[in-house]
Structure 1
Amino acid sequence: MLINIVRFVLGMLASLGITHYIRSNRESGLGRYDLLLIPKKEGLKALLLEFKQVRKEEELASSAKLALDQTQAQAYHTELLQYPHVQEVIEVGIAFSGKSVLAAYSTYIVGNQSNEISLTDRYGQEEG
């Protein structure tokens, strides 16, 4: 299953390479992020992704939130400060267990981070 997820992510990244610079596992802030997509031009959003694999589906929500908290606590967005055209960052914590995936995300406007965290359900729909 992990191989299928990796193939999906690589396919997605290949198409995003047209509009975004793709960085992986680089030092930024106080640690190393998993994946950073930096827009090549103004008006596009940056994406900061942190992945967690868990054994039990019951751990998905807490692990997705933990991954998101990690991006914020470790200030992984620091690398983006050298790109003045980047105004908005979507930080995403993604947890997966087998075929189940759950994501927690937050939008960061440069200079003003939102405290609101959104969580998707196991099927990619935003929870109400």
Structure 2
Amino acid sequence: MKVNNIIGYLGQIKKIFDIYEDKTLEYMLSDIYSKVAINENTYIKYNKNKQKVCIEEIIQEIKKNNMNKDEVVEFIRDLKKNELLLLGEQSKLKINKSDNKELIVEIIANHFGFIELDNQIANRTSNETSVTAISNMDEN
């Protein structure tokens, strides 16, 4: 390997070091490892576009779009049962493998729907009541 190649690699390493400038080396290595050591089992073939997608990306998409329960059901309905089980596992939900697909979809949708409801309640103005926030949730 030539020195010019090493200089190029050191430039890339410097960019990584700049991100973790105020952190410890142990934290940096642990964080990098957690990001690159994703188990192949956390990837699924997502039926909408037939590409491999990380389960975490699906979770982030649901959270980013503040999906309510019905939207989550529509979003994950086409996943296979084993993919739904992985999604539930990544979301730290207790789902029995013997549950049918519809029940698993419902459990996952309830989980994310309640996260959205909690966010709406937490962000309501002081003159709103929880009844108003819940009625707004029903309208969406």
Give TM-score, length-normalised by structure 1.
Answer: 0.32
Please state which structure has a larger fraction of its residues in helix.
2
Higher-Rg member (1/2): 2
Give TM-score, length-normalised by structure 2.
Answer: 0.30
